[in-house]
Structure 1
Amino acid sequence: MKLSIATTLLASTAAHAFSDSSPFVLFSTSKLNTPEKYNQLQTSNQVIASAKEILSSCPTSDYVIVSQPNVHAADIRDGSRCKMRSLCDAIASKEVKGRFSVAEVVGDLSTHSLEDYVKEACAAKGKVANTIKVDLTHLPSLEQKDKREQVLASNDDQLGIMLDTLKGDYTLVMVSDPNEFRAYQPDFVEPVHMDLKREVFHFEEDKGNQTHDTRPLFVKYQFFTPGIFVSLIALVVMLSILGVGLRALGSLEVSYGAFDKEMGPAAQKKQQ
């Protein structure tokens, strides 16, 4: 039963699906006015707004603000296995009646703003909020897998000891502040610009100075490229065809009187 509740709280997502995100966990021994449906991928502003709305009623007298820097959702839950047993056991406890969590939060979450907001919200209702700030050890980078798991286990033990000392109603909020994960930023290589120069120079590597190129003209430059050579051949072929056509037209021989109209008596008889 405990395992199923903890798995539902931290919804199953692919490990490190969003490298620049971190989980947000909020649970309380009192009933919370939590949204019925919400996405497991939200921005930090959306999560803070939802958390403030939940905490505006000042549900308990004790509030535990846990900061776990550089944590990811996969650090808490890997499939059906919970890596932070103390946290998962506390969430699945029968005493906990309200739960709200987001597996992937994009952006930094400020624990100080929530701590100040809780005090102000409870003061507005005539209550005194007892806030407990817990700063856990910064988790190493993902490349240091073994060391990261050791630090995470030590932090979970520290969190479990602190939870055992709590008596009565309490509300716990765990965030990652700051989160060192960063989104992928593509790097583009700038194109190389080559300027044309009127004069050709070659550099002497041993002397390091410039000397004027005195090579012959047809040695320095290439005048007949393959494209120009093919174009010249095509031009010769088309000019040959044009010359044949002109010669054919010029060879036509027609007498000057072939198109003259007959006006004599013989032409009148033909018309009758």
Structure 2
Amino acid sequence: MMIPRKLLALALGAGVVDALKDTSPFILLSTSDLLSSSSANVLPATSLLSDVWSSLKTCPSDYYIIATQPGVHATDYSTQKATPRLREKVLGNDKAIRSNITVTEVMGIFDPTSIRNGLEEECGAEVTKIDGGASGTTLEFEGGPRIIDITFPALSLHESRLQELSRNDALLADVLDHIPSSKYTLVYVTTPREYEDEDLSSLTYGSENDLQEPLHQDLKRDFAESRQDDTSDNRSLFQKYQFLSPGIFMGFVVAFVLITILYVGISALVGLEVPYAAFEKDTSPNSQKKQQ
């Protein structure tokens, strides 16, 4: 079973997000061993729907939670504060989760209606609907097999998106905590986010100007500091800068030792005195008798 290391780690670069802004993530978690359990970055909705149904048509669980979150993008989940409880399960911190299907970018609309109808027909599951935007929801569920259909309201297009996702995540976690069985499957379906005209270039991570503004401020601060140093520091050149660093000093010491060794070796070779007679052949009678 492939478990992603980061929840939809998933947020692609700015140049790619424009091309995939009409996509949204998908997550399936189950406490049962499903036939298909893998993760992908980009997948068509039709192909994903076929894979999910091939895993659920065997009725592996007692409870099937189908949570629908409209108006999101993969970048909405890039921060830990967005969906902390769901994030923990996707990262594999919940040991009860045995199957994980995570798709970062689903191309097209994944309609869970066919999954819901198939579970009703094949598994005899009854449906309990929950309005994710209502307050005071009763979380008491009858015996399974049962489908818990949760529909969350679409996220706004402003700064409250993070708080809305976090609130929906808390409700989903409460639903999972109140399930009277350890055998459940969570199908977390999303639909693509809509964008206002002025929001097309910013998405969740901010616009290019927002990303460059801190850099510009750092450059201005560094330039101001250098200007201040040049005008107020009256020290001499050798006092302001270090011309002999410890590395250079160590290099000089090593070079001096090596040159000294080389000098001693050359001096020893030059000092050798060998008489020329040592290279001449001895022709005396005594030498001939020794050879015989």
Q: Normalising by structure 2, report the TM-score.
A: 0.53
Using the alignment, how far apart are the partners of 1:139 and 1:102 within structure 2? Answer: 20
Report if the CA contact (8 A) 1:28-1:170 is conserved.
Answer: yes
State the partner residue of 1:164.
177
Listed as ranges, the matches of 1:25-174 within 5 Å are 25-34=27-36, 39-78=40-79, 81=80, 83-91=82-90, 92=92, 93-123=94-124, 129-141=145-157, 144=158, 146-167=159-180, 168-174=182-188
Structure 1 residue 181: deviation in Å? 3.7
Equivalent residues of 1:11, 1:40 under 8 A apart = no
Pairwise CA distance, 1:159: 1.3
Cα distance, 1:113 vs structure 2: 1.6
Whole-angstrom CA distance in 1 between matches of 2:61 and 2:81: 27
**1:175 aligned to which of 160, 167, 189:** 189
Taking structure 1 as reference, are residues 181 and 42 closer, same or farther at Cα in structure 2, changes over 3 Å only? farther
CA distance in 2: counterparts of 1:35 and 1:180, whole angstroms: 26
Deviation string, structure 1 residues 69-114 (Cα, Å, up to 9, x no partner): 0111122234xx4620111223330001111111100111112221
Structure 2: distance between partners of 1:62 and 1:161? 14
Q: How far apart are residue 25 of structure 1 and its match?
A: 0.4
- The 1:123–1:157 alpha-carbon spacing in structure 2 relative to 1, beyond 3 Å, is closer
Within 5 A, what are the aligned runs for 1:257-268? none
Verify the 8 A CA contact 1:43 1:105 in the aligned structure 2.
yes
Q: Aligned partners of 1:106 and 1:120: how far apart in 2?
A: 28
Aligned equivalents of 1:72, 1:40: Cα separation in 2: 13
Q: Deviations over 1:25-84 (max 9, x none)?
A: 001011111155x64201111111111111121110100000000111122234xx4620
Instruction: Measure the CA separation in 2 of the matches of 1:90 and 1:23.
Output: 15
Task: Count residues in correspondence.
Answer: 170
Contact 1:118 1:129 in 2 (8 A): no
Distance 1:139 1:40, change over 3 A: same
Q: Read off the aligned partner of 1:137 and give its amino acid letter.
A: P
> What amino acid sits opposite 2:86 in the alignment?
L
Q: Which amino acid aligns with 1:131?
A: I
Partner of 2:12: 14
Q: Aligned-pair distance for 1:158?
A: 1.3
Offset at residue 131 of structure 1 (A) = 0.1
| Residue equivalent to 1:227 | none
Question: What amino acid is the match of 1:7?
Answer: R
Identity of aligned residues (%): 29
* Partner AA of 2:164 in structure 1: V
Q: CA RMSD in A?
A: 2.6
TM-score, normalised with respect to structure 1 = 0.56
Residue identity matched to 1:159: L
Task: Evaluate the alpha carbon distance shift between residue 15 and residue 114 of structure 1 in structure 2; reply closer, same or farther with a 3 A threshold.
Answer: farther
